[in-house]
Amino acid sequence: MSVRESILREMGLGPIWRLRDAPDTEVPDVEAVADAAVDVAPDTPANPPLRRLSSEMLSMARNADVAAEAPAALTSAESREPPAAAADLDWDALTQAIQACRDCSLCEQRTHAVPGIGDHQADWLIVGEGPGAEEDVQGQPFVGKAGKLLDAMLSAIGLARGENVYLTNAVKCRPPMSRPLDASELAACFPYLSRQIELIKPRLIVVLGRPAAQALLNTDIRIASARGRCFDYRGIPVVVTYHPAYLLRNPLDKAKAWEDLCFARRQMRDRSSGNGDT
Query: Where along the sequence are the contacts to ligand URA (CB under 6 A)?
Result: 128-132, 135, 141-142, 144, 146-147, 169, 245
Task: State which residue, 36 or 205, has the beta carbon closest to ligand URA.
Answer: 205
Q: Which is nearer to ligand URA, 42 or 144 (CB)?
A: 144
Q: Say if residues 258 and 266 touch (Cβ distance below 8 Å).
A: no
User: Is the Cβ of residue 57 or residue 149 nearer to ligand URA in the bound state?
Assistant: 149
Smallest distance from ligand URA to CB 186, Å: 12
Nearest-CA neighbor of 208 among 154, 128, 138? 128
- H helix or E strand, kind and range, residue 247: helix 244-249
The residues facing 211 across adjacent strands are none
We find the least distance from the C-beta atom of residue 232 to ligand URA, in angstroms, to be 22
Work out the burial of residue 212: count CB atoms within 10 Å of its CB; fewer than 13 is exposed, 13-18 middle, 19 or more buried: buried
180 in Cβ contact with 211 (< 8 Å): yes
Q: Which amino acid is at 78?
A: E
How far does Cα 214 stand from its chain's mean position? 14
Residue closest to ligand URA (Cβ): 128
Whichever of 118 and 276 has its CB closer to ligand URA, that residue is 118
CB of 7 to ligand URA, least distance (A): 23
Q: Which is nearer to ligand URA, 260 or 270 (CB)?
A: 260
**Which helix (DSSP H) or strand (DSSP E) does residue 205 occupy?**
strand 204-208
Q: How far is the CB of 213 from ligand URA (least distance, A)?
A: 12
- Provide the minimum distance between the beta carbon of 215 and ligand URA in the complex, in angstroms, as a whole number: 11
Residue with Cβ nearer ligand URA (171 or 204): 171
Find residue 232's DSSP bridge partners.
Answer: 76, 237
Q: How far is the CB of 200 from ligand URA (least distance, A)?
A: 17
Give residue 36's Cα distance to chain centre: 25
Nearest-10 crossing angle of helices 91-100, 183-200? 160
| Nearest to ligand URA of 116, 276 (CB atom) | 116
- In terms of phi and psi (left: phi > 0; alpha: psi -120 to 50; beta: otherwise), the region of 21 is left
Is residue 108 classed as helix, strand or coil in its secondary structure?
helix
83 contacts: CB under 8 Å, gap ≥ 6: 190, 191, 194
How far apart are CB 144 and ligand URA at their closest, in Å? 6
**Closest approach of ligand URA to the CB of residue 253, in Å:** 16
